[in-house]
Amino acid sequence: MLKVVVKVELTSHIVEIIDVDCVPIDKDLDFILRAVSYVLKIPIADIKSKSREGELPDARKLYCLFAREYTKKTLREIGELVNIDHATVTYASKQARILMNNEINFKNKYDSIKIELYLR
């Protein structure tokens, strides 16, 4: 249990150091999807599937949020990569923002992906 607390504190500290403006705005959608897949250890094919099992919905929400924040792609283009429509991209992004404020585990996933995007 102590390792989890230390990891959370360390991740939060690193993310505080990395300013949002430091991550380039022109990230590629495939790049973001690969980063989400790598950090969450979920195959890209599973993220693109229609399944709602386990961590897959969270992975899609995080992909949508990062794609909207770090690209200038349309909602349709963002959704096409993971087989969802534009309305689902909007809804997933909003849900991701809500979850970040209410669930520490989701926030930690977001922070880890943000660090991965910054470092690559």
* One pLDDT digit (tens) per residue for the chain, 120 residues: 334 444 545 555 555 555 544 555 567 999 999 999 999 999 999 999 999 998 999 999 999 999 999 999 999 999 999 999 999 999 999 999 999 999 999 999 999 999 999 887
State the first-to-last Cα distance of the chain, in angstroms, to the nearest integer.
30
Instruction: Supply the pLDDT for residue 11.
Output: 55
Query: Model pTM?
Result: 0.80
- The encoded tokens of residue 76 equal 């349709």
| C-alpha distance from residue 113 to each of 1, 39, 85, 91, 94 (Å) | 22, 6, 23, 20, 17
Instruction: Supply the pLDDT for residue 19.
Output: 52
Close Cβ partners of 94 (under 8 Å, ≥ 6 residues apart): none
Instruction: Supply the pLDDT for residue 27.
Output: 77
Domains and CATH numbers, the chain: 2-18+26-119 (1.10.1750.10)
